[in-house]
Amino acid sequence: MLAGRGRYEDPWHDHAATSHVVAGLLADQGVEASVRGTFPDAFGDLAAFDLVVVNAGRGRTDPGFDGDDAAWAPAHEAVAAFAAAGGALLGLHQAVNTFADSPRWADLLGGRWVPGASWHPPQDVATFAPVGDHPVVAGLGPVVADDERYRDLVVAPGSRVLLTARHDGADQPVAWASAGARAVYDGLGHDVGSYASASRCALLRREVDWLLGR
């Protein structure tokens, strides 16, 4: 699990806390998880894993803060190579708005956050509705969680929407399965309170099982 720090952290999300909660949930599911911060050298051995979970944000990409784009290019190439070799990717919450300096990330994840266009209403207890018959959501009831509802995300053609959220009478996608890789984006998980929801945790388990072919 890649937890946002440095270039890929921000003041609004406790990526370390949510990553450790998710790691605990994965352990309960029988999945051994390793949590590491998004340092450049954290990406060097991705081939040793079956699943990479990205729980990181947009952060700061100014070169004087945490290296320039060239310094980070090998990390992004490692993610692309991992996916090309059949590795599974799970992007949580802000993952749709991270790795903006990567030319491949949005294609792999199957969508993106657009600065200045994408947004969310205030966090609240919200209901997220499953869509379609994809194995991740087939037979899953509504997901209710104290979380953010991302709006106006750009979903790539071919991605299969798994979950929508309603605001002001309109439903919009907040989770999908990508056509660009074996990848799922799950827009829930703003803070640890999201994972206090049994239905939210059930969604996470289903995503992991599908990605791992279980």
Whichever domain contains 124, its CATH number is: 3.40.50.880
Q: How confident is the model at residue 61 (pLDDT cuts 50, 70, 90)?
A: confident
State how many domains the chain has. 1
Alpha-carbon torsion angle 102, 108, 110, 116, nearest 10: -10
Find residue 173's DSSP bridge partners: 164
Among residues 125, 94, 124, the alpha carbon closest in space to that of 111 is found at 94
Which conformational region is residue 6 in: left (phi greater than 0), alpha (psi within -120 to 50 degrees), or beta? Answer: left
Q: The whole model's pTM is what? A: 0.97
Question: Residues 143-183: pLDDT tens digits?
Answer: 999 999 999 999 999 999 999 999 999 999 999 999 999 99
Q: Quick one: CA dihedral 81, 133, 22, 126, positive or negative?
A: positive
Per-chain mean pLDDT for the chain: 97
Question: Residues 2-34: pLDDT tens digits?
Answer: 999 999 999 999 999 999 999 999 999 999 999
Question: Residues 97-126: pLDDT tens digits?
Answer: 999 999 999 999 999 999 999 999 999 999
Task: Indicate the SS3 state at residue 172.
Answer: strand
Residue 1 in contact with residue 178, Cβ under 8 Å?
A: no
Task: Indicate the SS3 state at residue 25.
Answer: helix
Residue 121 domain boundaries: 2-211
